[in-house]
Amino acid sequence: MGNKKNLVFICSDQQRTDTMNCYGNDWVKVPNLNTLASQSFVFENAYVTQAVCTPARATMMTGLYPHSAGVIRNHTPGRPGSELSQETKCISEMVSDDYVKAYFGKWHLGDDLNRQHGFDHWISVEDARDELHKPISVKEEDKFRKSDYFQYLENLDYEPDGFYEGHTSYTPDLRSELPVEHSMSHFLGNEAYQFLQNHSGSERPFILYVMMYEPHPPYNGPYNDLYDPSSIPDGEIFLEKPDETCSLFNRARSDYYLAGSEHDLNTADDWRNLKARYYGNVTLLDEGVGKILQGLKDFGFEDDTAVVFTSDHGDSLGDRGMLNKRSFYEEVSRVPMLIKIPWINITQVKVGGNFGHVDIVPTILDILGIEIPDHLEGSSVLEDLTTGSELRPRDVFMQWHGGLPTVNLGDDTVNLMSQIEWRSVVSGDRWKLNLSRGDQCELFDLNSDPFEKINLFDQEEHKDRIREMTARIRGWQISTEDALVLPSV
């Protein structure tokens, strides 16, 4: 391999930070992630650019904000702004062809079935749709084709018929009935292990992306009974509805879920049962991660391979009486972020300060010693990691693009308010400002109010801070050509 280093990038789906020991959880069974964290830089405050799958993943792959990458809403087949164009470069196209490039798992940026954007190896887990729903980028001959994972299950004599919107893993009954060894986590872990084994005789460096599905809903899986719901801590804001000073969008979502409108969530114990199933899927995810890490050891790659682990967003999971994503709240927008660079450090280093997902691509390129393209909108933090355990003060920007919902999000009020656009900044001194022209704006002091219970936006004493933070958002908008008009403050 010469002097060139390798990369393994692992992304979970909808995983909260408080699912790992390094973020304060000592009871969820994630031994492999905990081991990785013990050897990694652990970012204490890492944020997504938009808390929904497709825009978040576009940023992770391109180093651009969602509006710059042209991906501003969740993947909706045939709908503009929900697929990554072939002209928009991914990190795989910023790395030289000296590298072997592999992508395994959820793509969710258009055509999931076919190798693209410079990747040499491709393992799919999402199927093509019918004629009405197939992505714009899917070829006519592929419109009814099934994913590699679907075919894997068929070869095992399962009958995976009638999968919801083309997603093999969305089928709740099959997901819980499958034995652990046939779950998507194990399937992807085994495929990654096989890739590493096949590559063990090569002198070429590699980048390997493994995009896991767990613990994404449905809140269901083979480890549904692993955790006793009564033993799981409720947490500070479990089922605590946001007060009347907060946005109508979030209050309406809380009302909707607290009314038991989905998942039969009629009592606090129903919510606890759902949480237990979610954590079971986190453990399932960890087992797949373990297979990848074991492959690095078994085939001699461990010392020359950087490992990055993160998630595309979190999950409310009953906090504030809410469920799922699409929020600036910490439990949704703040995610796990681990970077292991064995030739620099092999012990755990907690990294303070703010980190944005838009910084992932430039940081990875810097770690691999590859020139960082000028068009990227994030910046590398490698120098900070090599000189201390605190990132230089930096703002993190997030967005919500509104528009017609890609799926039904609740009742009429929820769906209506979801169409309103938002912008957010988390300042270097840990304040969060959420701005919208059509809803109640919000200001939270994360230093004294980490659970974001007290909206300070309408308090006169904070008006200058709001103006100054708004100016930061406007400056960022200018630099990234974001045309949204913010409210006057």
pLDDT in tens, 448-478: 999 999 999 999 999 999 999 999 999 999 9
DSSP notation for 397-440: EEEE--SS-SS--SSHHHHHHTTS-EEEEE-TTSEEEEE-SSS-
Is the confidence at residue 162, as pLDDT, over 70? no
User: Are the CB atoms for 204 and 99 separated by under 8 Å?
Assistant: yes
Alpha-carbon 125 to chain mean position: 17
Instruction: Indicate the length of the chain as a whole number.
Output: 489
Label the pairing between strands 349-356 and 41-47: parallel
Q: C-alpha angle 314/420/326, rounded to 5°?
A: 5
Please state, in angstroms and as integers, the Cα–Cα distance from residue 418 to each residue in 72, 250, 326, following that order.
13, 9, 9
DSSP-derived 3-state class of residue 68: helix
Q: Which two tokens stand for residue 469?
A: 């933070």
Mean pLDDT value of segment 121-138: 66
Structural contact between residues 249 and 332, judged by C-beta atoms closer than 8 angstroms: no
What pLDDT, on a 0 to 100 scale, did the predictor assign at position 3? 80
Total of domains in the chain:
1
* b/e per residue 88-107 (b: at least 16 CB within 10 A): bbbbbbbbeeebbbbbbbbb
pLDDT tens digits for 64-88?
A: 999 999 999 887 666 678 789 999 9
The answer to whether 462 and 456 are in contact (CB under 8 A) is yes
d(CA 178, CA 360): 34
Does 438 map to a domain? Answer: no
Please indicate, yes or no, if residue 17 is contained in any of the structural domains: yes
In a domain, 304, yes or no: yes
Please check whether residue 94 lies inside any domain of the structure.
yes
Strands annotated E in 37-192: 41-47, 100-105, 121-123
> How large is the average pLDDT for residues 245-271?
93
Helix (H) or strand (E) holding 53: helix 53-62
Residue-number span of the structural domain to which 20 is assigned: 6-389
Low-confidence winner among 45-49, 86-90, 134-138, 232-236 (lowest mean pLDDT): 134-138
Whether the pLDDT of residue 160 is over 90: the answer is no
Q: Is the previous residue joined to 487 through a cis bond, with omega within 30 degrees of 0?
A: no
Q: Does 359 score more than 50 pLDDT?
A: yes
**pLDDT-based confidence at residue 150 (cuts at 50, 70, 90):** confident
- Model confidence band, residue 135 (pLDDT cutoffs 50, 70, 90): low
Q: What is the pLDDT of residues 182-206, one digit of tens each?
A: 999 999 999 999 999 999 989 999 9
Contacts 24+ apart (CB under 8 A), 81-84: 81/401, 81/403, 82/54, 82/406, 83/109, 83/110, 83/135, 83/136, 83/137, 84/58, 84/109, 84/110, 84/117
CATH code, domain with 337: 3.40.720.10
Q: What are phi and psi of 377, to 5 degrees?
A: -100, -5
Rounded CA separation 200/232 (Å)? 42
- In terms of pLDDT, which residue wins out, 261 or 166? 261
* CA–CA dist 110, 90 (Å, integer): 13
Lowest mean pLDDT among 56-70, 101-115, 309-323: 101-115
Whether 486 maps to a domain, the answer reads: no
Answer whether residue 396 shows pLDDT above 80.
yes
Q: How far apart are CA 255 and CA 251, in angstroms?
A: 6
Q: How confident is the model at residue 370 (pLDDT cuts 50, 70, 90)?
A: very high
- What is the token pair recorded at 332? 């949704």
| In the block, residue with structure tokens 């549904």 | 224
State the pTM of this model: 0.94
Nearest in space to 280 (alpha carbons), one of 217, 210, 191, 190 = 217
Residue 198 lies in a domain: yes
Q: Is residue 449 part of a domain?
A: no
Over pLDDT 90: what percentage of the chain?
Answer: 80
CB 232 within 8 A of CB 319: no
Given a cut of 70, is residue 279 above it in pLDDT? Answer: yes
Residue 15 has pLDDT above 70, yes or no: yes
Contact predicate 395/476, CB 8 Å: yes
pLDDT in tens, 96-121: 999 999 999 999 898 888 899 999 99
Amino acid symbol at 120 = D
Rounded distance between C-alpha atoms, residue 457 and residue 49, angstroms:
22
